[in-house]
Structure 1
């Protein structure tokens, strides 16, 4: 609120002092406008409609409008105005704009705001006055050069509001060289003192320079990284301080294409951002259609109610995905992050009519084939084709991540299922594979039929015969992973999902008919098997290690493929660092049953190949009971890897796909203040993990501990993991650079707090 203190008496004193009535009435007019707007909610636009040539009469008209709207005289006591202004600033904390700002920048609701009271200086006094804003470095590209804007005979709000086109700061160099020289000298002094790029507001009043405020400047990710590295070279910052200046969102910018910032966007709806990046393509409503259109070299966006495992081939061909349901750990979100593709989930405003191949979004109708653009970082869906800009890792970012890698004690691995994923992970800086999901390897076209035939087999012998045909595929996959990682850890999880996921649902008659024909079996046999495999709660049904116990031949085939691959690449001169992970263990005997298969098959293969190698066998800690019996499991396991997605579901009793329906209202009603599938719930899930880690380490001091759920890429969860002494986190390949940064930041934070790890309760 500028010009506070002016009234009918003060304005006369200003006229006598300056001999400039226009200036005096201008600041009075401005004060009435802004004070009425901020304190009484009378919009400034209402005052702007008043058109009177005489400035003094304009003030009278302004006061009349105020009286009409506020039902009281415009206050004349400066102290009354000051008190109301202070209250107005405090109250602004709870206005809708402030609430939205806090939400975007994750500012705590209970932080509160301060009020700053400053003497006025007047940039609109005369031709030797003006106002400006400058940045001590270029906040767009990081160049070490002062730049900004200036207006003669104006107040700061004129510059900010954009009603007048400002002049480049350089005009001051010509018109007021002494002032410019002083300005340049002082702002660089401020930057050195405050060790950050400054956003400085200043005013020149009748030839005298005044600084109004300075603050750390907002900057683009490109500028943030360059400035941080440059300031280390200039000895303004340490490497640790530079690392703390960069955020995960800054890293995201370099990993994915972005929209041209100058292109106007027609946003038609918004969902939940699940995987960052921008993409453009034609709408397709099925994975099959995505494959068909992509063959014609046309870009597609896959739009579904939800995705499942057999959509993966079509997802691989799409530029990005949109689902009407689900959350950040849904199938679509997890696959998108693994593939490095943008994804938006929970777009409840979209109604898909699959029969007529159209989307309805409020009163907008889009057809399959229409082009849309999606922003996976904001959740925005845009009509039409928005130009894309490709981002690349600048040298400064590579340098900064190399510092992060040296500082971080906790390693960062990647969840990678294919050689391409593994290559990407290594390129991004991953220190191995923390989770290779063997089921993802089954969905390729030439393999899926063997999986389906194996499910339909009449007995164990037939199952084993079919599994022997799958073995070469699995073996080759593992060989490729070992070759790419060459000495880095490769953690392979045995089959996890329920078998019904490999068959069409019983309501999909057309898909059932096609599959029966393709497999050359009776349709009724297929339907009976689908019904037999149907479960009321598949998440808690026949999956994970339970599959390997009921059908040990599946585990036997996978373990044989793993060890044959490991022995053969070792003979090629490749270093193998193998870890085998048993999923969904709840009972010690489940783990021991699977461990015995691993040990027996490994001995057989070592004899056959004449090769021996070290390996580790551990379990995925994803059930509450596994955590509660950690002491027992730790006697026999070489490592624990916490599958925090499922563990969170079990502990809360929330379905991760359905939870957005109630978690969003929960957050609005302040029942929960975070997203538990994005950030580890330290009180509940975290407490269970901590207790189990401490119990395990008491029994087996050499046990390795990690996280392989999606929390492995979340900054707050990474800090928690480091705090409790975990050895590594594992996340999607494209989240590895963010996780590396977060691991280094966790180390720096704990160093400041002098905590190395929690060792006791």
Structure 2
């Protein structure tokens, strides 16, 4: 090893070997696919794999890397097809008595690969030689390890063959050789060249096998992903003096905190130190036990310096795999430190603050969706999962609780201090209070933009929808899962709104974290992004969360959710049952102070930031009970015969309520509703403006499809504004806008725009109407559609840039042509999707709005888009 190491250092300095006995340069010229790893060798991750490229980087840093040969993807494919490389060519870079190992080198380490095989070249003769050099026990351990590895991975023997091998290496070696000969009916191969050739062939074929292909494709690798192999001279880690192996890194994998972590094990090889056991040592001095720093301080100091140099020059936190041989340190590999989302942010911020990378690069290193791991509780990834079923992860995070089937039970459970998961076939507006009380929600039906999904994300609570493989028996209050497992009300389950898993029992959870590093990263994001991010917030609590996550205002306040509190619901029902406009106005007069108080709270919390309030939208039947007990309670509250109440409720029913009497259609046919809401908004504006910055509310008309609808509503709202100005003696301004949810509104935007200040696209309903898909039912077949390529992605999850996107572009172009300066935004759930934000930014939208807990994701995604755009603009057109 010493001769190869010295020659390679000399080659790097003068670009030629001085020793004419070595033909490494000739090897490279004859076959660049079998390449000695030097500073100048033609090695790339795309041709030789990530491990080979990283080893070259370590060589360039003049670190003590053992002599290593890299085999390209093409070479490995040829070996798998039956070609045998020239053994002399493979062995020429190494000393004649070198012991070798072969390790996989895939393009992405996450794609895996066959296990490493160590100690190639050990045979009977070398066992005798090594026994004299490092002792019989150490030599036997080297040989035994290779025999067992070769037998299992190359000869494909059952590992059970070696179950009875004596733990003493000397005795065990004899037994292992005997077992090999008995199983294979031939002696263990003694020729190092033959051993190496067989190991290479076995690893190449293992990579090309069907099961290996399926496994790596499941990890996101392309079907034709290549595998490189590296043949490396062994630093033994066994023998006289201080010998051993281990790994070192400079950060904590879970938190990203600066902390030397890893383990070291004397008289060991590879990653043995990580397998646990009392003999493994800490690296730094540690009160819990002995350390490498105490045992071999010079070796520890060198390792620490090497790892720090890797961090600085490779611009990444690296884990160093090392071997100590008679006190001398060798680096066998360097791999990117595995990390949680929390650690990834801390690492990126620390690298930027230390001047190793730029702030822009730190931003680009974080996957926006990974922020969900910090903002919500997660299932502990280290514990086994008892999966009952799987649906669509519609709102991230995890929660455990007892099963309840009604909102009333959820509220009662919360009052007792018992966490519960609300289970429904599907949720509706009347389930809002139960969803507030529960720690999570699971539904049989629904998709990414179903009621449960949207409200769950808004509340920041885990939600799993579309769990179609379960049966819900509401009468018996039980769930029947695949395989016949039955859970009843009161039993505990865990839902994972990130993965969509439904798990049995109270699964251990990891708590959400809010590290200072995240705040720093987000401040950098805000400094570069060029599209605003607002939050969808319906209550003061939602608005508080929006402020916490630095939303730049409220882009959608759904006022109907304010009417489901018990003290308001009865009044709302009285209004619905009123026969005349005067009676409706009388009922609404009782709701006015409640609405006004809600808006005052919102304005105060947002402290002068814009608040966009959507006028009443849902069909009236959502506020009415559907079961007999609820109808009876309503009859008592209204002092009406049950038959009259039942008949009236049936009259209000619609075949397709989502396309029926709702939104602006209610505002036109029952104008008293919008008049009351407008008055509440304006009176709240006056009150809130007295206490702080002037409030300029934004009023949004939902479900518009015609210019005349806007004219009618605008006239009445202007009249209410004038009346409030006269009554209060206070001047104020407001902005009127339209929520574009119908294809016709998008196509006629040029007619509508002159009447309003903004158009905000409700992409949930716009997608539903453009596709003719029910957003509540599409989850039942959407996965099959995506798998068969009908849709590239669920259009309710990722904005359809071709179809729905074309409508947005048409509306934006026609709207701004008719009214320059028209404000454009998205307020549907697509607003928090990074791909959808990219579309909005390209289309020139002013802001996106999403659920409060998705605001950080949107802020980071928007910043990354701005950074990418700047990089593209800075690149010379010829280079590009």
Provide TM-score, normalisation by structure 2: 0.78
In 1, Cα distance between equivalents of 2:425 and 2:337: 42
Q: Which moved more, 1:519-528 or 1:747-756?
A: 747-756
**SS in structure 1 of the partner of residue 458 of structure 2:** helix
- Deviations, residues 524-583 of structure 1 (Å, cap 9, x unaligned): 322223332322222222222122122222222222222222223324444212111111
Report whether the alignment pairs 1:281 with 2:393.
no
Q: Aligned to 2:265, which of 130, 151, 154?
A: 151
* 1:447-458 correspondence runs (5 A): 447-458=568-579
Q: Aligned to 2:618, which of 497, 513, 517?
A: 497
C-alpha distance 130-496 of structure 1, shift in aligned 2 (>3 A): same
**SS in structure 2 of the partner of residue 115 of structure 1:** strand
* 1:4-83 correspondence runs (5 A): 11-12=123-124, 14-15=126-127, 17-19=129-131, 22-23=140-141, 25-36=143-154, 42=156, 45-49=159-163, 51=165, 53=171, 55=173, 58-59=176-177, 61-62=179-180, 65=183, 76=194, 78-79=196-197, 81-83=199-201
**SS in structure 1 of the partner of residue 228 of structure 2:** coil
Q: Aligned to 1:218, which of 326, 331, 338?
A: 338
Q: Deviation at 1:308?
A: 0.7
Report whether the alignment pairs 1:112 with 2:225.
yes
Q: Aligned to 1:612, which of 728, 731, 735?
A: 731
Q: Deviation at 1:111?
A: 7.7
Match of 1:399 in 2: 520
Say if 1:722 and 1:747, in contact at 8 Å, map to a contact too. no
Q: Deviation at 1:311?
A: 0.8
In 2, Cα distance between equivalents of 1:227 and 1:461: 64
Report whether the alignment pairs 1:419 with 2:532.
no
Q: Deviation at 1:317?
A: 1.4
Match of 1:105 in 2: none
Say if 1:197 and 1:217, in contact at 8 Å, map to a contact too. yes
Q: Aligned to 2:239, which of 104, 121, 126?
A: 126
In 2, Cα distance between equivalents of 1:696 and 1:524: 50
* 1:704-723 correspondence runs (5 A): 704-723=823-842
Q: Deviation at 1:493?
A: 0.6
Report whether the alignment pairs 1:555 with 2:669.
no
Q: Deviation at 1:429?
A: 0.9
In 2, Cα distance between equivalents of 1:562 and 1:144: 51
In 1, Cα distance between equivalents of 2:630 and 2:157: 61
Say if 1:26 and 1:55, in contact at 8 Å, map to a contact too. yes
Report whether the alignment pairs 1:351 with 2:471.
yes
- Deviations, residues 464-496 of structure 1 (Å, cap 9, x unaligned): 222222222222222221222221101011111
In 2, Cα distance between equivalents of 1:755 and 1:617: 40
In 1, Cα distance between equivalents of 2:871 and 2:453: 35
**SS in structure 1 of the partner of residue 123 of structure 2:** helix
In 2, Cα distance between equivalents of 1:92 and 1:185: 43
In 2, Cα distance between equivalents of 1:481 and 1:43: 70
Q: Which moved more, 1:646-655 or 1:75-84?
A: 75-84
Say if 2:148 and 2:162, in contact at 8 Å, map to a contact too. no
Q: Deviation at 1:56?
A: 5.0
Q: Aligned to 2:306, which of 186, 190, 199?
A: 186
* 1:354-753 correspondence runs (5 A): 354-361=474-481, 362-386=483-507, 390-505=511-626, 508-753=627-872
Q: Which moved more, 1:271-280 or 1:327-336?
A: 271-280
Q: Deviation at 1:129?
A: 3.9
Say if 1:158 and 1:164, in contact at 8 Å, map to a contact too. no
Q: Deviation at 1:609?
A: 2.2
Say if 2:812 and 2:824, in contact at 8 Å, map to a contact too. yes
Q: Deviation at 1:113?
A: 4.0
* 1:237-316 correspondence runs (5 A): 237-258=357-378, 266-316=386-436
Say if 1:136 and 1:146, in contact at 8 Å, map to a contact too. yes
Q: Deviation at 1:709?
A: 0.9
Q: Which moved more, 1:642-651 or 1:675-684?
A: 675-684
Say if 2:238 and 2:269, in contact at 8 Å, map to a contact too. no
Match of 1:71 in 2: none
Match of 1:341 in 2: 461
Match of 1:98 in 2: 216
Q: Deviation at 1:414?
A: 1.0
Match of 2:21 in 1: none
Report whether the alignment pairs 1:167 with 2:281.
yes
C-alpha distance 159-318 of structure 1, shift in aligned 2 (>3 A): same
In 1, Cα distance between equivalents of 2:633 and 2:563: 19
Report whether the alignment pairs 1:203 with 2:203.
no
Q: Deviation at 1:499?
A: 1.4
In 1, Cα distance between equivalents of 2:558 and 2:368: 26
**SS in structure 2 of the partner of residue 201 of structure 1:** strand
RMSD between superposed Cα atoms in Å: 3.1
**SS in structure 2 of the partner of residue 274 of structure 1:** strand
**SS in structure 2 of the partner of residue 169 of structure 1:** coil
Say if 1:287 and 1:313, in contact at 8 Å, map to a contact too. yes
Say if 1:490 and 1:578, in contact at 8 Å, map to a contact too. yes
**SS in structure 2 of the partner of residue 117 of structure 1:** strand
In 1, Cα distance between equivalents of 2:305 and 2:464: 48
Give the count of matched residue pairs: 739
C-alpha distance 745-111 of structure 1, shift in aligned 2 (>3 A): farther
Say if 1:50 and 1:61, in contact at 8 Å, map to a contact too. no
In 1, Cα distance between equivalents of 2:472 and 2:600: 42
**SS in structure 2 of the partner of residue 241 of structure 1:** helix
Q: Deviation at 1:364?
A: 3.0
Report whether the alignment pairs 1:235 with 2:355.
yes
Q: Deviation at 1:96?
A: 4.2
Match of 2:31 in 1: none
- Deviations, residues 188-210 of structure 1 (Å, cap 9, x unaligned): 11110122211222334555433
Q: Deviation at 1:287?
A: 0.4
Q: Deviation at 1:148?
A: 1.0
Q: Deviation at 1:286?
A: 0.4
Match of 1:759 in 2: none
- Which of the pair has more CA radius of gyration? 2
In 1, Cα distance between equivalents of 2:624 and 2:321: 65
In 2, Cα distance between equivalents of 1:755 and 1:320: 47
C-alpha distance 538-729 of structure 1, shift in aligned 2 (>3 A): same
Say if 1:50 and 1:58, in contact at 8 Å, map to a contact too. no
Say if 1:123 and 1:203, in contact at 8 Å, map to a contact too. yes
C-alpha distance 112-648 of structure 1, shift in aligned 2 (>3 A): farther
- Deviations, residues 572-626 of structure 1 (Å, cap 9, x unaligned): 4442121111111222222233222222322232222222222211111222222
Q: Deviation at 1:281?
A: 2.6
Q: Deviation at 1:185?
A: 1.5
Q: Deviation at 1:503?
A: 1.4
In 1, Cα distance between equivalents of 2:451 and 2:196: 62
Segments of structure 2 that go 5 or more residues without pairing to the other structure are: 1-101, 104-115, 187-191, 285-290, 876-880
C-alpha distance 651-6 of structure 1, shift in aligned 2 (>3 A): same
